Copies of this chain bind each other. A is one copy, B any other.
Amino acid sequence: MIMQQEFKLSDILAFEQRYRATLINSLGGFKSLVLIGTVNPTGKTNLAVFNSLFHLGANPPLFGFIVRPDSSDRHTLSNILSTLEFTVNHVHENFYKQAHQTSARYNASTSEFDSTGLTPEYRGGHTAPFVKESKIQIAADFVRKVDLIENGTSLIIAQIKSISVPQDCLLTDGFVDLEKAGSLTCSGLDSYHSTKKIARLTYAKPNTPLSEIHKPK
């Protein structure tokens, strides 16, 4: 019998800062793992790893993510606010170390494409660079920044302008098989994981009997 460890808010607030950051960053579950590509008005590229991307809606196609203005996110934010566009690129096992490395605090004159060896790709009249190594790419337009007074972070709301996915990963119902594409997930601040599919389930209906829900797969 494994015991549960419990912590109250007062315990959490009393933890050493790095311990607390590692703990709290773990709790939300597995996360989206993407590289966001931007360019500044003089053409200097920037690339940064994010793990807070979330779906907002399909019609229009909207998503959001969180930026911390005092971190390595700051060049991404200033570039998006200047140019009003960016790219989102899934991360695969053959370049997850390079993706992680973009979280280092490079100065604004260093492009993370250069410092990691990832390849910028320009396509479709979008000025922000894609990551050529990524199989699932999104070009996005900035919609709005919502400042969160609680801790100085900001929510960036964006609209999808175009997408690129491998033909053999796009199923007939519109589902994109991220596992087949080799997209990774992450947990905490620094843990990288591949996935193993359990099942896709059908649309849930309220009249389903308990015996049906509990049936082994």
Query: Quick one: given A62-B151, A100-B201, A213-B116, are A24 and B188 in contact (CB under 8 Å)?
Result: no
Question: Is A104 within 8 A of B160, CB to CB?
Answer: no
Question: Is A191 within 8 A of B174, CB to CB?
Answer: no
Chain B proximity of A119: nearest CB distance (Å): 13
Measured between alpha carbons, how far is A118 from B105 in the docked complex, in Å? 45
* A138-177 interface code vs B (CB 8 A; 1 in, 0 out): 1000011010101101010101111111111010011110
Query: Quick one: given A198-B184, A206-B105, are A59 and B20 in contact (CB under 8 Å)?
Result: yes
8 nearest CB pairs, A to B: A29-B32, A30-B185, A22-B174, A26-B176, A23-B174, A104-B204, A19-B174, A24-B58
15 contacts between A and B (CB under 8 A): A2-B166, A4-B164, A13-B59, A18-B173, A21-B59, A26-B174, A26-B176, A27-B160, A29-B178, A97-B213, A98-B213, A144-B150, A146-B146, A155-B155, A190-B203
